[in-house]
Structure formats: structure tokens, C-alpha cells
């Protein structure tokens, strides 16, 4: 059995929706998968992002996700990665989703709610994984140990731009900068703006500037990526909705970027909102 898994990048938080809001982006990692009868052992090749850095054994993230679905047979993977690693664009979630969907496909199963559960358990939250699985805009939450998400279509006027620095970051490192508690006023602010963000992303992008205003995580993480916060503040002062993508250091903005904003050191890319989520295509 041979097939191709194509999985989109994602952005999470979107300012106010910390660990709850996500959106799929038109940047993709492709994994060619061979398994089942006639395939023995494990082989992995990696091209693009992560080549030469990621392990090529059972500890590879895609392989771990495949095994988490219960598939134990032979496996051959060719990974072609375009999603930058450790930049806040969901590269780990994309690898996990690719592995989970590959494992389901190798066992003749369609991805279902169990796929989200398995994928989210790797990271402890479902926002990025749900976006890569389902496409569009997602709201993710947990009920005890159960992860859930709902998908919505983004308004056609939502026009994401990502500004990707060369600097890497990690969720583990930046999450360690967050306080254990926040003021009640900040929590109330986040609740209102997160609700507004759902409306803005799906119905009325004209209110995205207010909807993406954050008090829960970005300022606390500024020591990890001061240039990111500078660009965000400069854009917002000029009326451009902007925030940190995921755990950073990438900036996500919406609309045209004013020429006077200094984006030196950032790779600026306009991306579509991915609407389909992960895709599987037979190769035989």
C-alpha cells in the first residue's frame, strides 16, 4: 500500500484565543507512505525543513504517531517538509497529524474523532492538530481527558500574511515564561476578545484588530522574541491586525503590510486559508 499524505500548516491562539483558536494555512508537508504486505522494517528519508536534524528511527514524530494508532507493521516514509520547524506554524502538529492519518489509512480506517484524540494527546491541546486535520478555522477544547473541536469556514476576506524570522523557538520554552495566574480583568478581556475573534474570522474581518488583542501570553513571552513583539506593535499602531502565531516567533497579520513597518529579518509570505485539512492520495 502506497499513498501520499499532505497536511497543512496551522496558526494557533490568534491573539486572544490562547490554546483554543486555530486556523489552517496553505503551506504543506507531504509524506509518501508505504506499508503493509511486502514492506519490512523501517526506512525514513527527510527533505526540506528538519533534514539532517530529525531522527530517522522509531523516535521520529511521524513514526510515533503512526504507532499510536496501533499499526505495528513495516513502514517506509519519504517526508518533504516545507513548514519551518520551531517557528509557531504547527510543524509538530502537522507531523503528528500526518502520522495519525497514515496509521489509520494503513489499517483501512477513515480518520474520525479518535484521530483528533490521538493527535491532541501528543501536545496536550488540540488547536493546531484540529486545524491541520479539518482545515478552516477551529475552536478546540477539552472535557477531562477528551479533546474536541469544531470547524468553521473562514470569511473569504480573511487574508493571512506570515512573517517568519530565522530565529527558532519552542512551545516548551515559551510556555515556561507564562505566569501560573493572571488578573481577573485580563481573563475577562480574553474571553470577550476570543468570542469576537470567532465572529471576526468567520463573518466580519473588519473587527480583527480588536479581536486579536491579547493579554494572556504575548507580553509575557516578549523576552524570547523581542523583534516579533516590535513588529506586532508597529503593525497594530497602524491599524493592521497582528499577533504571534502559536508559540512564536512568527507573526501572523491580516491585510496589507504598510511599507513603513521594518520587516528586515523576516520572510514575508501571503498564504491562503486551507479549507480541506489533511488529504490522502493513493500512489498505486
Q: Is 93 annotated as a binding residue?
A: yes
> From residue 179, how far is each of 12, 45, 217, 280 by CA, in Å?
19, 40, 9, 41
Contact in structure between 113 and 128 (CB atoms under 8 Å) = no
Contact in structure between 82 and 46 (CB atoms under 8 Å) = no
Q: Is 217 annotated as a binding residue?
A: no
User: Among 11, 21, 10, which Cα is nearest to 195's?
Assistant: 21
Q: Is 94 annotated as a binding residue?
A: yes
Burial of 262 (0-12, 13-18, 19+ CB in 10 A): exposed
Q: Is 253 annotated as a binding residue?
A: no
- CA 133 to chain CA centroid, nearest Å: 10
User: Among 102, 128, 159, which Cα is nearest to 19's?
Assistant: 128
Q: Is 89 annotated as a binding residue?
A: yes
Q: Is 92 annotated as a binding residue?
A: yes
- Residue whose grid cell is 465572529: 199
Q: Is 86 annotated as a binding residue?
A: yes
Q: Is 87 annotated as a binding residue?
A: yes
Contact in structure between 31 and 5 (CB atoms under 8 Å) = yes
Q: Nearest 5 degrees, angle CA 67-CA 69-CA 74? A: 40
Helical spans, DSSP H, in the chain:
61-68, 91-106, 113-123, 127-134, 171-175, 184-202, 208-211, 218-221, 226-237
Phi and psi at 55, nearest 5°, equal -70, 155
User: Among 54, 65, 130, 75, which Cα is nearest to 99's?
Assistant: 65
- What helix, strand, coil percent values describe the chain, rounded to 5? 35, 30, 40
**Which residues carry a binding-site annotation?**
84-94
**Positions at the binding site for ATP:** 84-94
Amino acid at each position: 500500500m502506497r499513498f501520499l499524505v499532505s497536511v497543512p500548516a496551522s496558526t494557533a491562539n490568534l491573539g486572544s484565543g490562547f490554546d483554543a483558536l486555530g486556523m489552517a494555512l496553505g503551506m504543506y508537508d507531504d509524506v509518501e507512505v508505504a506499508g503493509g504486505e511486502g514492506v519490512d522494517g523501517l526506512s525514513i528519508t527527510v527533505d526540506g525543513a528538519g533534514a539532517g536534524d530529525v531522527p530517522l528511527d522509531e523516535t521520529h514524530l511521524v513514526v510515533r504517531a503512526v504507532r499510536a494508532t496501533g499499526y505495528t507493521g513495516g513502514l517506509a516514509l519519504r517526508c518533504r517538509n516545507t513548514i519551518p520547524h520551531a517557528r509557531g506554524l504547527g510543524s509538530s502538529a502537522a507531523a503528528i497529524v500526518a502520522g495519525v492519518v497514515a496509521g489509520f489509512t494503513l489499517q483501512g480506517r477513515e480518520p474520525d474523532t479518535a484521530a483528533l484524540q490521538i493527535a491532541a494527546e501528543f501536545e496536550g491541546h488540540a488547536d493546531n492538530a484540529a486545524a491541520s486535520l479539518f482545515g478552516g478555522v477551529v475552536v478546540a477544547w477539552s472535557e477531562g481527558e477528551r479533546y474536541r473541536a469544531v470547524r468553521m469556514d473562514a470569511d473569504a476576506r480573511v487574508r493571512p500574511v506570515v512573517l517568519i524570522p530565522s530565529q527558532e523557538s519552542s512551545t516548551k520554552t515559551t510556555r515556561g515564561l507564562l505566569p501560573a495566574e493572571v488578573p481577573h480583568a485580563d481573563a475577562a478581556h480574553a474571553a470577550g476578545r476570543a468570542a469576537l475573534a470567532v465572529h471576526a474570522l468567520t463573518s466580519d474581518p473588519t473587527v480583527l484588530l480588536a479581536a486579536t488583542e491579547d493579554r494572556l501570553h504575548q507580553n509575557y513571552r516578549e523576552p524570547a522574541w523581542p523583534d516579533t513583539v516590535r513588529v506586532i506593535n508597529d503593525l497594530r499602531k497602524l491599524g493592521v491586525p497582528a499577533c504571534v502565531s502559536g508559540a512564536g516567533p512568527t507573526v501572523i497579520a491580516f491585510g496589507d503590510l504598510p511599507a513603513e513597518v521594518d520587516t528586515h529579518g523576516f520572510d514575508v509570505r501571503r498564504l491562503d486559508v486551507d479549507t480541506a485539512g489533511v488529504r490522502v492520495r493513493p500512489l498505486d
